[in-house]
């Protein structure tokens, strides 16, 4: 079984995004949710079995709370956990009002 964590950084400020709601879905069903801590992290969001998932960060609400306008209500990462996968998945978000990016971290 694999585990999942995430980290959200606001690249326009270079600072962690505290208080972003994050939801993990599998087959359109919410299986875990949480909010980023003061360091912009959720260190243990869920344990994962093989399958397809969607990790959604509610960035629009976070930007609105900062007084920043964005056309993107959320950022999402669709990913697959293979049958043979074990270990840890760290999927960070780099967010800005004009878009977002991700990569597989360690």
The CATH H-level superfamily of 2-94 is Transthyretin/hydroxyisourate hydrolase domain (2.60.40.180)
How confident is the model over 53-87, as pLDDT tens digits?
999 999 999 999 999 999 999 999 999 998 876 78
Q: Is 54 exposed, middle or buried (0-12, 13-18, 19+ CB in 10 A)?
A: middle
* Half-sphere exposure in the Cβ direction for 98 (13 Å, CA): 2
Of 33, 44, 104, 46, the closest CA to residue 74 belongs to 33
Provide the pLDDT confidence category of residue 21 given band limits of 50, 70 and 90: very high
Sequence ranges of the domains in the chain: 2-94
Q: Which two tokens stand for residue 20?
A: 């972003």
Provide the pLDDT confidence category of residue 12 given band limits of 50, 70 and 90: confident
| Cβ–Cβ < 8 Å for 42, 19 | no
Where is pLDDT greater, at 84 or 19? 19
Q: What is the pTM of this model?
A: 0.92
């Amino acid at each position: 079984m694999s585990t999942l964590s995430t980290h959200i950084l606001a690249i326009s400020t270079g600072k962690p995004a505290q208080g972003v709601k994050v939801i993990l879905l599998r087959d359109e069903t919410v299986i875990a949710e949480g909010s980023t801590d003061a360091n912009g992290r959720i260190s243990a969001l869920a344990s994962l079995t093989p399958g397809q998932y969607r990790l959604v960060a509610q960035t629009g609400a976070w930007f609105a709370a900062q007084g920043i306008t964005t056309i993107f209500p959320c950022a999402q990462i669709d990913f697959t956990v293979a049958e043979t996968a074990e270990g840890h998945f760290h999927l960070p978000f780099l967010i800005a009002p004009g878009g977002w990016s991700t990569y597989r971290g360690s």
